[in-house]
Amino acid sequence: MARGFHVAVAGATGAVGTEMLKTLEKRNFPVKSLRLLASKRSVGRELEFRGEKLKVEELTENSFQGMDIALFSAGASRSKEFAAATVKAGAVMIDNSSAFRMDAKVPLVVPEVNPGDVKQHQGIIANPNCTTIILLVAVKPLHDLSPVKRIVVSTYQSASGAGALAMEELEKSTAAYLAGQTYQHSVLPHPYAFNLFSHNSDVTANGYNQEEMKMVHETRKIMHDDAIRVCATSVRVPVLRSHAEAIVVEQARKVSVEEALAALAKAPGLKVVDDRKANYFPMPIDSNDQYDVLVGRVRDDLSCDTGLALFVCGDQLLKGAALNAVQIAELL
């Protein structure tokens, strides 16, 4: 393998973990050695990296000796369980779970938005929630033109956000529906084929579910602005992979559609898809397997003098998870 860093991937066999491996390879990250970690049931399984087959090892407290970077996508409980061992071994944990996102000592980073926060790490850096990442990649260029005071966002979230088993449930339930057969769902709480429903995270005391509140709290932390008001509605839709979001922003001053489109076109991590004549705008099918977040439908908010409305799509497994984590490693 190439000269460079010793990298561990915890949760290597999951939907995000496998995308982390592909992303490290595609972006030619300088990997000197790679250690694949997962639960005991996956031990011995082989995954390919740069043409070489590597065996999966069991994730234990001794897994991080000699490692420089540990990419975690094994769930919040596992991240909390192994954080101390990872840091003690001298590796920097880049964690894709919710375990440390709101910890004041842990930077929460979207490289296109707040790359400088990486320097503040004390051994752990958190990857934001997928919907927050996709939202802020598109909002940050507008915020730079004129401070964003308020965000109203509705998310249309794909099966991949609930993991590989949810993606499988969507495929199987759709096939059963089309064949006129019954299908007993077990991964998600409601029938998934040809249906949509409020996001399956727990509903909190204020009526918003946990997914929606993540967007509120994480946006303020990443943007370093507790005054930004965020109203989110998160919906699970029968799409396999990419998330979509309808976003309305209220800014300090009126930004024209032309000014906004010019800023979005220049911004890193974005691709403008905004063809009014052809009625062609961002779609999940076009953002699958893409690093860039697609942004379009940019128009004046008719209900607010200083508002803009836009629509975005982003690959939940890539920019919403694996790619963002690898970009943080690149910043390191």
Residue numbers annotated as active site: 130, 243
Q: Write out the two tokens for 264.
A: 């979005």
CA distances to 6, 66, 68, 89, 328 from 82, in Å? 18, 15, 15, 11, 20
Angle at 211 between CA 207 and CA 213, to 5 degrees: 60
Q: Of 111, 76, 48, nearest to 291 (Cα)?
A: 111
- Dist. CA 98–CA 85, nearest whole Å: 18
- Cβ within 8 Å of residue 51, ≥6 positions away: none
Q: Write out the two tokens for 97.
A: 């779970």
- Dist. CA 108–CA 223, nearest whole Å: 10
Question: What is the strand order of the sheet 5-10 is part of?
Answer: 57-58, 31-38, 5-10, 69-72, 92-95, 124-126
Using DSSP, state whether 56 is helix, strand or coil: coil
DSSP, residue by residue, 82-134: HHHHHHHTTPEEEE-SSSSTT-TTS-B--TTT-GGGGGG-SSEEEPPPHHHHH
